[in-house]
Amino acid sequence: MELPKLSPRVVLRAPNARITNLTLFVALALAFATGTGAVATGSPHGRWVVVAHGVAAIAVVLLIPWKHRVLRAGLRRARWSRWLSLLLAVLAVTTVLFGLGYATGTVRSVAGVPGMWLHIAVALALVPLALWHIGARRARPYRTDLSRRNLLRTGALGAAAAGLYAASAGVVALAGLPGDRRRFTGSYASGSFDPAAMPTTIWLDDTVPDIDSDRWRLTIVDSAGRYELTLPKLAAFDTHLRATLDCTSGWYAHQDWTGVPVSALLRDVGNARSLLVHSATGYSIRLPVDDLDRLLLATGVGGAPLAPGHGFPLRLVAPGRRGFWWVKWVDRIEAQATPWWWQPPFPLT
């Protein structure tokens, strides 16, 4: 039996409110999930996550006309919750605008606050409202939603979003906008091979600690027990490593680091599955023990000792990982049996 033909006009016609809400929810969920992945990825192998985030964001933009019809009808009803729905819509548009502004380089910062931080902050503020909306405006999926018309409509939406994403990259390049010079993570160059010009970004509520290098010690805990090292002993190592620090606030810098390989300090990892790297501020991160041979504890950068803002007396260099893995002011390393993934996706403090 031959299926009836569907004209492009029928396929692209705005669906009902329930289908619109479901489609927008899926697009927002994909944008949030890939955005989280984009913040975490520091290796070229994760480039696809960044591309998927851009495509999902454009899909959200393409859905605005459909959602506008639904929102306009909802605002006519005298319900207090309509203002929450309107706020949700405003936040969704705002986070997309901040993202596009930062991606093109037209809005790198607002009042000194990096545009990437604003993009992430508004997206996080959107989450509780989105969850409320899902509960208050339940749009239950049905088997009939997988009709040929809906599948073609979704396919057309995805193809249009992917095409516009590719085209936008070309437009940014032709226009000579700063966004054309970003790294694959979306970060902009800042202070490469010039440590003094490299930003001293600190994760959330940390501050630069006042450390007395004469009294400071690095504690090492492995299967052989616990021992301590002074800064002069660590500074005696002279291993060099060129690595890229790519911060989640939207900048990156290539630097030549000097220090001691973490593998040279651990005598026996035994059955350890992770390395806990602890900072004097209380900040810590857990890395896979398989990363051991790639990690460096830096005492210097660019041929000079670390500055306090860059982690003096000791910071972790973790090639291929984003900046929040590069623990500053390291005072303890422990080989532990706990899996590396037994921690929040991103540090909470």
pLDDT digits (tens, 9 = 90+) for 45-77: 889 999 999 999 999 999 988 888 877 776 677
pLDDT of 281 over the 70 cut: yes
Give the per-residue pLDDT at 283: 93
pLDDT tens string 178-205:
999 999 999 999 999 999 999 998 776 6
Checking 137-145 for CB contacts under 8 A at 24+ apart, the result is 137/21, 137/85, 139/18, 139/21, 139/22, 139/25, 141/22, 145/19, 145/22
Backbone angles phi, psi at 147, to 5 degrees: -70, 160
Report how far residue 304's alpha carbon sits from residue 257's, in angstroms, rounded to the nearest whole number: 9
- In this prediction, residues 90-97 reach a mean pLDDT of 92
273: pLDDT strictly greater than 90 = yes
What rounded mean pLDDT belongs to the chain? 90
- Which residues does residue 285 pair with via DSSP β-bridges, in sequence order? 277
Q: Are strands 274-279 and 284-288 parallel, antiparallel or unpaired?
A: antiparallel
Q: How confident is the model at residue 78 (pLDDT cuts 50, 70, 90)?
A: low
Helices (H), ranges, the chain: 8-11, 17-40, 47-62, 64-75, 81-104, 115-136, 148-175, 231-235
